Amino acid sequence: MGEENKQRPNGHGGKNRYAVACSIIGSIISILMGYDTGVMSGAMLFIKEDLKTNDTQVQVLAGILNVCALVGSLTAGRVSDWIGRRRTISLAACIFLAGSVLMGLSPNFGTLLAGRCVAGVGVGYALMIAPVFAAEISSAQIRGSVTSLPEICISFGILIGYVANYLLGKLPLVYGWRAMLGLAALPSAVLAVSVLAMPESPRWLVMQGRVDQALVVLRRVSDTPGEADVRLAEIKAAAGLQAADDDAAAAAAAAQAQGAPGRQPRPPPRGAVGNGVWKEMFLHPTPPVRRILVAAFGVHFFQHLTGIEAVVLYSPRIFKAAGIATRSEILAATIGVGVSKTVFIMVAILLVDRIGRRPLYLSSLAGIIASLACLGLGLTVVERSAPRHSPTWAVVLSIATVFTFIASFSVGVGPITWAYSSEVYPLRLRAQGASVGVAINRVMNAGVSMTFVSLYKAVTIGGAFFLFAGLAVLAATFFYFLCPETQGRPLEEIEEVFSRGWRARLPSSEAPVVELPVSSVTDGNAKARP
């Protein structure tokens, strides 16, 4: 163990290219979700003209996907515990494929709404499973980066959606928006098949009692066989299998001494994994689990209260309110939003494992608060000015702060929400805990997307963004006081971080590391104690 620590930080593996490649493929499902969000922002302009929908129908169409994502997210955790992480990704792609075909062939608003509902279930599955798979297959040193991959895929999908709006918007009205929405069916079909070539999550395999298969996967995603053995010992200890193995070995030794055959340990039954999780989370949680749930659910609760969905989904309306007139100019401006979002999430991926979750998240919120306040000011001035006589500074400020808001969100709050919430759960709670977190995320997303038009008509569009700025201040307060740093910690040690109490906010790198002898690994106790 001492030699392992000299070779790699904290005694765990470095950047394994195969693990990163698997995480990228598993995260591609998120591109489809992002594409749907981005393409719908422009498609709604054409749908409203073609199907003669009113503002209420537009809001329902925008938000119903997230309402139906609740069904997917709340069932995805149990399904992934049953059939595995890899097959759950394939199932998500199949569901999204069906929804895309239905939307692309929609003859009327009712069929379009039904397609959005089906696609929403697929989105719920995708949002839950992609970061969980990435977290479970990667090492501690790159986990922040790879669990942020679903967010960059979402952003890349949004960008593709904006570009599709601009290009397909030139088609005849009756075909344009249908082509925009149906296009996602092709990559869904490819992903549903290709993802089956990936390895399964080693942590899920251990939970199924398939330890030998888990070790094979770990050796493919680790830098050295020694690292794979260490990671397997930690996973077995977290799953409670190490103690069972020790008891079985002791019983076998005793039986052999008496001349009787010893009993071999039995793997958990296939349907048993995940049983009792809801009781442990909500009826009888331990203090560390309670703190974990508050932190994980809280980051999902606050993510959309910053107004990101309002800006991404309704950016054409915001640009129109800021003074951009033609449809072509509006769609071109939204492409800039997509580019900004994608670029700054890539920056976040480079930084999250270097400077930690907390500094990046809190800095992101500071930029969000400043951007929203300036956006609210600019839009208020533009709205109160005479038509076509808005002060130039107000127009420039409104447009510029849309981009600074997107950049601030994308460099911290966006990717870290998914990275943080996928890594804090104990192994036994991870899949179903992540399901509940995604459900909360979708409720908040739907609440913003389905009420934003009504909100800005009630309090003005500038007032709506002042409100979001105030909510972002609450988000910063929550994260500062209730979310400790998890940078560099193996998944099996993070529950220990939360056992210190609400005010344990120091980065794990500041905690002293105790090197244990090699024999302690075989006992399942190879953890660096702060």
Chain position carrying tokens 């709670």? 429
Alpha-carbon span 457 to 414, nearest angstrom: 27
pLDDT of residue 525: 40
Boundaries of every domain in the chain? 16-198, 286-502
SS3 194: helix
**pLDDT tens by residue, 62-120:** 778 878 888 888 888 888 888 888 899 999 999 989 999 999 898 888 899 999 999 98
Residue 364 has pLDDT above 90, yes or no: yes
Residue 178 has pLDDT above 50, yes or no: yes
Residue 215 has pLDDT above 50, yes or no: yes
Average pLDDT over residues 289-300: 92
pLDDT of residue 477: 94
What class does CATH assign to 16-198? Answer: mainly alpha
Average pLDDT over residues 393-419: 88
Query: Using an 8 Å Cβ cutoff, are 338 and 162 in contact?
Result: yes
Helix 287-303, helix 461-482: angle, nearest 10:
160
Q: 254 vs 525, which has greater pLDDT?
A: 254
Average model confidence (pLDDT) for the chain? 78
First to last CA, the chain: 17
pLDDT of residue 274: 52
Q: With 0-12 CB in 10 A as exposed, 13-18 as middle and 19+ as buried, what is 166?
A: middle
Q: How confident is the model at residue 259 (pLDDT cuts 50, 70, 90)?
A: low
Chain position carrying tokens 């030998």? 212
Of 62-66, 112-116, 304-308, 470-474, the least confident: 62-66
Task: Return the percentage of the chain with pLDDT > 70, whole number.
Answer: 81
Helix (H) or strand (E) holding 97: helix 85-104
Residue 517 has pLDDT above 70, yes or no: no
Residue 495 has pLDDT above 90, yes or no: no
Residue 374 has pLDDT above 90, yes or no: yes
Query: Using an 8 Å Cβ cutoff, are 486 and 299 in contact?
Result: no
**Closest C-alpha to 140, from 478, 485, 506, 453:** 485
Model pTM greater than 0.85? no
Alpha-carbon span 131 to 481, nearest angstrom: 24
Domain 286-502 indexed as CATH 1.20.1250.20: yes
Residue 482 has pLDDT above 80, yes or no: yes
Q: 50 vs 470, which has greater pLDDT?
A: 470
Residue 231 has pLDDT above 80, yes or no: yes
Residue 168 has pLDDT above 70, yes or no: yes
What one-character-per-residue DSSP string does 411-468 give? TTHHHHHHHHHHHSS-GGGHHHHHHHHHHHHHHHHHHHHHHHHHHHHHH-HHHHHHHH
* Tokens found for residue 155: 């952003």
Q: Where are the alpha helices (DSSP H) in 222-286?
A: 225-239, 241-257, 277-278
pLDDT of residue 115: 92
pLDDT of residue 479: 92
Q: Where are the alpha helices (DSSP H) in 240-286?
A: 241-257, 277-278
Chain position carrying tokens 């163990």? 1
**Same topology between domain 16-198 and domain 286-502:** yes
Residue 513 has pLDDT above 50, yes or no: no
Task: Return the percentage of the chain with pLDDT > 90, whole number.
Answer: 14
